[in-house]
Structure 1
Amino acid sequence: MKVRSLFFGLSSGLVSAALVYSNSPALAQDADLLTDPDVTFQEQLTGRVASKKEDQYISLVIENDSLGTAGTDKNYTSGVRLGYLDVNADLPEIAYTLDRVIPTFGINETSSVFYSLGQNIYTPQNIREREQDPNDRPWAAHLYGSIGLVTVTDNHLDEIEASLGIVGPAALGEQAQKFVHTHVTPSSPTPHGWSNQLNHEPTFSLGWQRRFPDYMSVDAGGLSLSASPYYGATLGNVHTFADVGINFRLTPEKDVWQDGPLRVKPGLPGTGYFDTPDDGWSWYLFAGIEGRAVARNIFLDGNTFSDSHSVDKHHFVADANAGLAMTYDRYRVSYTMVYRTKEFEGQDDPAVFGAVSLGVRF
C-alpha cells in the first residue's frame, strides 16, 4: 500500500500530463516528479503544452425531485444546466478581468475556461393551489448564463464563476414546468400558482472556490481512495453564502484523472472533466458533504428591489450526496442522490432529489 499526495486539476496541464506520461517515452524519466513531494503540481505542468485532440467537454445535468423521491414538486423541483469546458483554450478578455477582480485567483499555463446555461425552478408544496400559501416558499424560476475559470496554483485548484440571469416570468419557469407535466409526466398535476411568482429582477453572482483535489490519497489493491476538502464563497442578489465541504472518491488506480460530475449551483463542486480510460471503460464512486452559511437566497427572501412574498430562511444549510459515474471511451454518465436539510421555517421535510449527468469529450 502507498500513500500519495498527487494533486490533479481540470486544466490544459492536466490533459497534457495525462497524455505526456502515457504516450511519450522520451519524458518517461520525468515520471518520478509525480511522486516528488517537493515539486508542486503547478510546476509539474508548467511548460507542457496539451494536445488539441479531445480536450473539450459538453455536459448536461438534470436535477429533479422525481429522480430522488416520488416526485412531490415542492421546494427545489427542477434544475437543468448545460456546460462547455475547454481545457486548452485561448482565454477571452473577460477572463483577465475576473483575474483582476478576484485577488486569490491567478491565470497561468494551467488555466481553463467553461461556460454554462441553466434554469432552476422552485415551488411550494401544493402546486394545485392558485393562491400563495403565506407559510410556504415563493414560486420562482431562474434563467442564467455563466462563465468560469479553473486554475492550478501550487497544490490547489481555484475556480471562479460569474453569472448573469433573470428571475421572474421571463425565466420561463411556468412554461417549462407545464410542458414537462403535459408531455413528459402527464400524470403529474397541473401547476396553478405561477401568477404568484417573484417579480422580474436581473441577477448577478460571483463565486470563488478553492479545492485540494488529492489532499489525501491511498492506493491499495488497484484502487485509489482520496479525500478533497474545499471552501469558497458566492456573492450576489441570488445567493450570498460561504461554504466548506469535503468530497471522497474511489476509482481504479489507473484512472484517477477524473473530476466530479457537473452540478447545478449551489451544489457540490465538479467540472465534469474525465480522462479516456485505457481499457475503454471505467467507473468512479463519489460522496461528499457541504455546509453553507447563507446570508441571502432570493428564492426564500424574495425580490431584492421590490415587494414580494418571502419566508424566514435558515442561515445554515447542509448537503450530502453520493453517486456513481460510468465512463465508456469519450462518454460518461453519472447519477447523484442529494439530501438537503430544511432551508426555511415551516418546511415540512428536507429535500431529496437526484441528478443525472451526461458528458462527452471531443
Structure 2
Amino acid sequence: MSSCSELLLWDKQHARGANAHVFAWNGKLTPLQQKASEELLSSVERNESHLIHAVCGAGKTELLFPAIFASLQAGKRVCVAAPRTDVILELFPRFQKVFPNTTIHALYGGAPDQHGFAELVLATTHQLYRFERAFDVVFVDEADAFPYYADETLQQAVTKAANPDAAIHYVTATPTKSLKTTNQSVLTRRYHGHNLPVPRFDSLWGYTRKLKKGKIPPKLEAWINKKVEMKTPFLIFLPTIEMLENFPSDLPRVHAEHPYRKELVMQLREKKIPGLLTTTILERGITIENVHVAVVGAEQPIFTSSALIQISGRVGRSVQYPEGDIVFFHHGISREMDKAQDAIEGWNRA
C-alpha cells in the first residue's frame, strides 16, 4: 500500500458469511490445553480480553479452534493476526483443514488475490491497516514479536480493525508486561509432556574476526559437519544480515527480505537441504521436525532473552523427537542468555 492507495469504507450493515461451518479437527487436547481452551472460550463468549501464556510447542494454535468455531457459528467474523509472515504461512494450511467449509483468506505482503467474503482472516498485523470495524473477534498470535510490540501504529491498526466493542485476545510464549490481562491461561508443559530442551552455552572466541577472514570457527564447523553427517536438519541464527550474507559456506540462507524464504523453509522441512542460515526472522512461527539449532553471537544485543527463548522453542516440538541440541555460541555470556536459560529451566520445574 502507499499514500495513493484507494481505501473504501462500508458503512451499511455488516456483511455476513453464508457457509455452514464444519469443525474437522479430530485431535485430543491434554488436560492443561483443555482447561486453557475452555477459559479462552469463556472469555470470548463474555467478550473479555484473554491472554494465552504458554511455552513454545504447547499447542497454542489448537487451543484457539473451539473459540474460533463457536464464533463462526454465531455468525461472527474472526481475525487471527501475527506480526510475521512466516506465522501466517504456517497457520493457513492448518486452518484450511480444520475449517474446510469456511472461506479463509491469508493476507501478507505478496499474497495472491483471494476471492469471496472471508469469514476467517489470517493476516500480518501490517495488513490490518486495510480494515476498519471489520472483525467481531480478534486474536493476536506472537504479540510480543517485532515489529508489533515496538510500533504503536500497528497496535492501533489491530484496534481499528476490530469492532469498537470487540475484545482482543493474545497468544504468546513470552508476553510483555503490556499484554498482561485479567483473564489469563498459563501452560507450563508442551503438548507431548516432555521437558523443554535447555540451551547450552559454548564459547566461540573471536568468531567475528574469523568469519571476516572467510573462515568458519572450528567448533562451529564441527557442529555443522556432525549435523550433516547425521542427516539432522538444523538452523543457524546469525546476528546481522552482513554476517549472514558473508558466511563462508554453501548453505542456503534467509532473511526478512529474501524472495524465496518460504520455499527454502519448505525444502528444509522436506529434508531437501541439510540446514539454513538465518536471522531472527525464523525465531518463531515455524515447526520443523527434529531440527537442531545453533545461535552464533548469542551475546549480541539483537538476541534478547525473549528472542533466545523463542529460538530455543524450535527444538523438540515433535512427539517423535522431543529432544534436540540448542547451543548458544558466544564471545562472553550475556545477562539475556542467562535469563533465557533460567526461564526455560523454570518452566521445566513448574
TM-score by length of 2: 0.24
Structure with more strand by fraction: 1
TM-score by length of 1: 0.23
